[in-house]
């Protein structure tokens, strides 16, 4: 089977509704975006990483201290997936390189691992018609299940997404015995050409209501393949989340692979 050419795109913005500047918040003396970049770089299935941002402060850090390729965006209010599509188009033209798969890795997912990234990409080798996939994992407690910061998903018997919401789904009214609640991990590989086509689709009603861009694919009739990650991971949406993530990462073996101060 031919190896696919894969690019990872990390969107990062200083402005965030719930936690301004979170991507530059430090975890073990490194800004969060640095952890995301370094951990993404550990995945051997990824050929290139670019960071897309409208912020000069992030650009300076990424270029000067990470050695990263940065694509500057001009519209801070653009949907992040749309920004990533524009960055993909710009970088393909700039580098004269065409990619098969574009993995969108949120800048607030500092606990990702190379194995998680490889799992997310795997459907593009196993199935011919995959347009987009996304990681998911079980939700361990009631607080996270009810939090509007957590994007939940329900899936069919083939692990294709049926719906995404910030509300608790499935409904907890009658309990969720036998159907454990699941949340989205913001690692979403796209067929690269489909990501460019996705950019041209108008925003859809449910996408706007839920404030979840991937719903545009479902509403437009495309499947979203969900991949189970059995180990728990957490994104950072609030200052409280940052403290929780710091605790969760204290004994993280992946840290020692790139953070020399821990060796």
State the average pLDDT for the chain: 93
Number of other residues whose CB lies within 10 A of the CB of residue 86: 18
Indicate whether 257 pLDDT > 80. Answer: yes
Three-state secondary-structure class, residue 10:
strand
Whether 213 is in a domain gets the answer yes
Which residues on adjacent β-strands are paired with residue 153?
164, 182
Q: What is the pLDDT of residue 260?
A: 76
Q: What is the pLDDT of residue 23?
A: 95
Whether 57 is in a domain gets the answer yes
Best CA proximity match to 101, nearest among 77, 71, 73, 123: 123
Chain segment 130-172, per-residue pLDDT in tens: 999 999 999 988 899 999 999 999 999 999 999 999 999 998 7
Structurally, the chain folds into a number of domains equal to 1
- For residue 145, report the phi and psi dihedrals to the nearest 5 degrees: -60, -35
Instruction: Check which CATH number belongs to the domain holding 141 and give it.
Output: 3.90.550.10
Chain segment 61-117, per-residue pLDDT in tens: 999 999 999 999 877 667 889 999 999 999 999 999 999 999 999 999 999 999 999
Whether 151 is in a domain gets the answer yes
Which residues on adjacent β-strands are paired with residue 160?
225
Q: How far apart are CA 103 and CA 192, in angstroms?
A: 9
Whether 263 is in a domain gets the answer no
Whether 217 is in a domain gets the answer yes
Whether 152 is in a domain gets the answer yes
Best CA proximity match to 52, nearest among 99, 118, 102: 102
Chain segment 56-70, per-residue pLDDT in tens: 999 999 999 999 999
Whether 198 is in a domain gets the answer yes
Whether 1 is in a domain gets the answer no
| Domain extent at residue 188 | 6-258
């Amino acid at each position: 089977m031919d190896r696919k050419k894969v690019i990872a795109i990390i969107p990062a913005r200083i402005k965030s509704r719930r936690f301004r500047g979170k991507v530059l918040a430090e975890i073990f003396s490194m800004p969060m975006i640095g952890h995301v970049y370094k951990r993404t770089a550990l995945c051997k299935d990824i050929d290139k990483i670019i960071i897309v941002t409208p912020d000069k402060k992030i650009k300076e850090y990424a270029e000067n201290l990470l050695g990263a390729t940065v694509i500057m965006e001009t519209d801070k209010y653009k949907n992040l997936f749309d920004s990533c599509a524009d960055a993909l188009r710009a970088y393909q033209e700039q580098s004269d390189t065409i990619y098969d798969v574009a993995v969108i890795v949120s800048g607030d997912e500092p606990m990702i691992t190379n194995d998680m990234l490889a799992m997310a990409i795997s459907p593009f080798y196993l199935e011919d018609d995959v347009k987009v996939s996304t990681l998911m994992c079980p939700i361990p407690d009631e607080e996270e299940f009810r939090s509007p910061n957590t994007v939940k998903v329900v899936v069919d018997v083939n692990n294709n997404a049926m719906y995404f919401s910030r509300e608790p789904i499935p409904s907890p009214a009658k309990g969720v015995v036998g159907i454990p609640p699941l949340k989205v991990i913001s690692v979403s590989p796209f067929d690269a050409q489909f990501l460019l086509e996705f950019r041209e689709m108008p925003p859809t009603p449910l996408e706007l209501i839920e404030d979840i861009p991937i719903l545009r694919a479902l509403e437009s009739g495309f499947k979203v393949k969900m991949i189970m990650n059995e180990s728990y991971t957490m994104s950072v949406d609030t200052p409280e989340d940052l403290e929780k993530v710091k605790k969760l990462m204290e004994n993280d073996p992946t840290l020692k692979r790139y953070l020399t101060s821990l060796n």
